[in-house]
A and B are shown apart, each in its own frame.
Chain A
Amino acid sequence: MRIFFVLPLMLVGLAGCSTVEPPISDPVFEVGTGTWRFEELGDGQPVDLIRGAQGGWHVWVAVRGNAVEDGDMVIIETERADGAGTVQRVELQPNFDPENNAGFRNYLGWPAMLDGVDCLVGELLRVRATLVGADGTMMTSERDILVMAGADPPPACAQ
């Protein structure tokens, strides 16, 4: 009786010694859109221009990652996908939301202002986000979105 109870304990002990830590999932960093939740973007996906009351139009840019940390920097760049025009770039040190159930931390609702927006309607806009970690490691995600006029369209392109 006593031997019966001892052996299973020994087996349990040995089983604990051979436990293997599950592998860490690959780090993911992704650019998308959305203000109150992250919305994935596909290349060529239509995105509305949003007009601000002070004038000017922007598109909402969001990022998410499963390996982001407080203090990481995010660089957001926008430019015409055909390379014409200038690159607009901003460096941010965002306050990411806490990790959600899917394991991601989001940064939502960045209003990416655009240059020459009147001639962007119907064109592809490249949105690129780069995550720069404290150790200098970088991850980049980009999408080419189709700019739509939205509810309050800009003036017609003069060109």
Chain B
Amino acid sequence: MNLRQLLPAALALVSAGAYAPTAHACGGFFCNNSQPVNQAAERIIFSQNADGSTTAVIQVQYSGPSESFSWMLPVVGSPDISVSSNAALAAAQNASNPQYTLTTVVEGDCDNGGGGILRSAGAEDSSTNAPPSAMDPEVNVVNSGSVGPYDFVIISVDPSASDVALVATEWLQENEYDVSELGRDRLVPYLESGMNLLAFRLTKGRDAGAIRPVVLNFGEGLPSIPLRPTAAAATDDMGIMVFVVGESRAIPANYLDLELNEAAINWLQPNSNYGDVVTQAANEAGGQGFVTEFAGDSSMFEDAIYPEFVASQWESIQELEGFQLVRQSAGLFQGWDGFSDVILAEVTKPAEISEEDWNANPINYIFSAEIDFTGLSSESFINRVQGEVVDPVLETAALFAGNRTVTRFFTTMSPDEMTMDPVFDFNAELEQEVSNLHTATRTIECSRGVMQQDATWRVEFENGVTVRGESTNWPLADIDTLPAMRTSRRVGTTGEGEIVTDNSAQIISTINENNRSHPRNFGSGLFAGGVCSVSAVGASQGAGSLVMLLGLVGLVALRRRNA
């Protein structure tokens, strides 16, 4: 496999204060933010079908010369192959991104104003190349053809060959599948067990921009990701996002199930370090664990992937002809895989545009150039759009139909961690819903003599933990100082599983230490210190008030004794 993976982008206070003035409006500073994290990752959908078979939609990320692109997958037999659309996978991701909502409240009055409560892929089969020839008696071509922008071949290798991986890779190289950088040894276990190799390359004349997700329909069995061959060309901390659709919540059968330490996420800018927190958590778990980011009903994904308004607009557009048909279709589908190919196939190139420019971005000229639409066949155009652009998205949306359960997993892995293929199974006894919505409340502690942007604040999480900080800095963003993983556990197909690592105590200890370093600033040089600012969990304002009162009583008693 000669696959270049894009690097993944990176996806509270001590309570017990004695001072509790009325909350005011935010006044424009430190306002609520509700931010989804949108991490880059290789995305995969596994859907268990009603007949027990599994459909996999696999996104391929690649940057490099198109002639060097190849992608391989060990399979048994000859699965059905088609293409999907990056738009479908992007929609599934957007519908379930973790979202961090910080509700901001301002206590008291700062010098610059008070605050308030604020609430933040259709299969072509038009082979233009001659089918690959087996020639080597140890290699059998099981199937070959073209689908979307790809040529593909499925080969089987005689398991008794002296070096099965060498035989396979040499054959593929000879048949113009560039697998020169593949770690051959990683293929050995699959080939020796009798599995076939499915290999893809870009059809001649297609560029890397045409790469779109591949759909494979397998037989019955547990979804699994063949990570070991991927390691040969993966980059460090590669994002892997998996959607598993089935009758109940999915679990990583042989990987750890990770729970993140929410305090490690920068709630002020969650997109800035979410991916890093996941990477750190996965590393703390030995490199083989998944975070469950979402679990819930699958129906909303179907509409998110192919919304009703798109279906309605497309239906209306099909009543049009000529330039209206093309331009309005472009307005709806220009970001969808395959639409450029339809334009190239159905629309006459403007005379003043070069062949190279037209091929590179035909949609760009639909709205700007003088195009002769008189020769356009509306029926042919509509059929192509339906078959090559819309149907792949519809078919992916259909994988989520039927009010089943979708579980979304995310992790990052480096090549040296890709030593075991993750397998997914189902557990109907676990809590079936995992929300992607995370909320916390931040209280800005205003006082006279303190500017709001410099004021201390406390963030209180739903689990009772409080983190203190000040200004616009998240004090725990330096995640080397505390675990990114709260717990890891192993989960089977029944029961709650078993905790393997629990970092809760260390997390609380680190938060307490942080909170001691961010005492409340009452302005005029007065700070709340000592016991009032210490506890990260469960301390109430009432308890803090009692401590302060006792302190004052003690002070009065001491002065009377000395008098």
Which A residues form the contact surface with B (CB < 8 A)?
35-37, 50-56, 60, 86, 88, 90, 92-98, 100, 108-111, 113-117, 152
Q: In angstroms, how far is the closest chain B Cβ from the Cβ of A40?
A: 16
Determine how close the nearest CB of chain A comes to the CB of B184; give it in whole angstroms: 15
A114 to B76, CA, bound (A): 13
Chain A residues with CB below 8 A from B74, complex form: 54, 56
B140 CB to closest chain A CB (Å) equals: 16
Let me know if A53 and B218 touch, CB within 8 A.
yes
Q: Which of B159, B219, B287 contacts A53 (CB 8 A)?
A: B219
Interface of A is mostly: loop
Extra contacts besides A54-B74, A115-B193 (8): CB < 8 Å: A36-B498, A52-B423, A56-B194, A100-B500, A109-B254, A111-B224, A111-B254, A117-B193
11 pairs of residues in contact across A and B, judged by CB atoms under 8 Å: A37-B490, A51-B221, A52-B221, A53-B221, A54-B73, A56-B190, A56-B193, A88-B189, A96-B286, A110-B420, A117-B194
B residues contacting A by CB (< 8 A) are: 46, 52, 54, 56, 73-77, 79, 159-160, 189-190, 192-195, 216, 218-224, 226, 253-255, 286-288, 417, 419-421, 423, 425, 490-492, 497-498, 500-501
Interchain CB contact (< 8 A) of A51 among B56, B160, B220 = B220
How far, in Å, is B159 (CB) from chain A's closest CB? 6
Q: Nearest Cβ in chain A — how far from B18, in angstroms? A: 42
Which of chain A's residues have a CB closer than 8 A to the CB of B501? 98
For B492, what are the chain A residues with a Cβ–Cβ distance below 8 Å?
A: 35-37
Instruction: Establish whether residues A111 and B221, one from each chain, have CB atoms under 8 Å apart when the complex forms.
Output: no
Residues of B within 8 A of A55 (CB): 75-77, 79, 195, 218-219, 221
Question: Chain B contacts of A100 at CB under 8 A?
Answer: 500
A159 and B287 CA atoms in complex are apart in Å by 42
Chain A residue numbers with a CB within 8 Å of B77 are: 55
Residues of A within 8 A of B75 (CB): 54-55
Contact between chains at A111 and B195 (CB < 8 Å): no
**Chain B residues in 8 Å Cβ range of A96:** 286
The answer to whether A95 touches B46, judged by C-beta atoms less than 8 angstroms apart, is no
Q: Which residues in B have their C-beta under 8 angstroms from that of A90?
A: 189
**B221, B224, B253, B421 interface centre (most CB from chain A within 10 Å):** B221
Most buried by B among A53, A96, A97: A53
CB distance from A53 to the nearest CB of B (A): 4
Are B222 and A109 interface neighbours, CB within 8 A?
Answer: no
**Contact between B190 and A113 (Cβ–Cβ < 8 Å)?**
yes
Q: Which residues of chain A are within 8 angstroms of B56 by Cβ–Cβ distance?
A: 53
Neighbouring A residues of B219 by C-beta, 8 Å: 51, 53, 55
Q: Would A109 and B423 count as touching, CB distance under 8 A?
A: yes
Q: Are A108 and B254 in contact (CB under 8 A)?
A: yes
Residues of B contacting A35 in the complex (Cβ-Cβ under 8 angstroms) = 253-254, 423, 425, 490, 492
What residues of A have a CB within 8 angstroms of the CB of B190 in the complex? 56, 113
Given A37-B492, A97-B500, the answer on whether A88 and B221 have CB atoms closer than 8 Å is: no
A62 → chain B, closest Cβ, in Å? 9
Cβ of A113 and Cβ of B193 under 8 Å apart?
yes
A109 touching B420, Cβ below 8 Å: yes
Q: Which residue of A lies closest to B198 (CB)?
A: A54
Q: Which residue on A lies nearest to B288, using beta carbons?
A: A95
Contact A109–B193 (Cβ < 8 Å):
no
Say whether B255 contacts A109, CB under 8 Å: yes
* Given A50-B222, A53-B219, A54-B76, also A114-B419 (CB < 8 A): no
Question: Are A88 and B254 within 8 A (Cβ)?
Answer: no
- Chain B nearest CB from A158 CB (Å) reads 13
Q: Which residue of B lies closest to A100 (CB)?
A: B500
- Bound-state Cα–Cα, A148 to B79, Å: 26
Give Cα distance in the complex from A54 to B226, angstroms.
9
Q: How far is the CA of A90 from the CA of B253 in the complex (A)?
A: 20
In the assembled complex, the CB of B455 is this many whole angstroms from the nearest CB of chain A, namely: 41
Q: Which residues of A contact B195 (CB under 8 A)?
A: 54-56, 113
Cross-interface CB contact of A86 among B192, B254, B255, cutoff 8 Å: B192
CB atoms of B189 and A109 under 8 A apart = no
How far apart are A122's CB and chain B's nearest CB, in angstroms?
Answer: 19
Task: Output the nearest chain B residue to A92 by Cβ-Cβ distance.
Answer: B419
Contact residues in A for B221 (Cβ distance below 8 Å): 50-56, 152
Q: A88-B189, A93-B419 are in contact. Are A36 and B497 (CB under 8 A)?
A: yes
Question: Which 3 pairs from chain A and chain B are nearest by CB?
Answer: A55-B76, A109-B254, A95-B286
In the complex, how many angstroms separate the beta carbon of B271 from the nearest chain A beta carbon? 29
**Considering the chains assembled together, what is the distance between the CA atoms of A94 and B79 in angstroms?**
32
In the assembled complex, which residues on chain A have CB atoms less than 8 Å from the CB atom of B491?
A: 36
Give chain B residues whose Cβ lies under 8 Å from the Cβ of A51.
219-222
User: Distance (Å) between the CB of B180 and the closest chain A CB?
Assistant: 24
- Residues of B near A116 (CB, < 8 A) are 194
| A98→B489 CA distance, assembly (Å) | 11
In the complex, residue of chain A having the shortest beta-carbon distance to the beta carbon of B75 = A54
A94 to chain B, nearest CB (A): 7
- A53 B255 Cβ-Cβ under 8 A: no
Within 8 Å CB of A110, what residues of B?
254, 420
Nearest A residue (CB) for B286: A95
Q: How far is the CA of A54 from the CA of B223 in the complex (A)?
A: 7
Give the chain A neighbours of B288 by CB distance below 8 A. Answer: 95
A37 to B495, CA, bound (A): 12
Once the chains bind, are A115 and B423 in contact (CB under 8 Å)?
A: no
Distance of A112 from chain B, by nearest CB (Å): 9
Residue of A whose beta carbon sits closest to that of B225: A54
Minimal beta-carbon separation of A21 from chain B (angstroms): 28
| Chain A residues within 8 Å of B421, by CB | 111
Q: For residue A142, give the distance in angstroms from its CB to the closest CB of chain B.
A: 19
Residue from A35, A97, A98 having most chain B Cβ neighbours under 10 A: A35
Instruction: Output the least CB separation between A87 and chain B (Å).
Output: 10
What A residues does B425 contact at CB under 8 A? Answer: 35
With both chains docked as a complex, state the minimum distance between the C-beta of A41 and any C-beta of chain B, in angstroms. 17
Q: Which residue of B lies closest to A78 (CB)?
A: B193
Nearest-Cβ distance from residue A106 to partner chain B, whole angstroms: 9
Given contacts A108-B254, A109-B254, contact A37 B76 (CB under 8 A): no
CB < 8 Å neighbour of A94 from B192, B222, B223, B419: B419
- Please give the distance in Å from A50's CB to the nearest CB on chain B: 7
Q: A95 and B490 in contact (CB under 8 A), knowing A54-B221, A115-B194? A: no
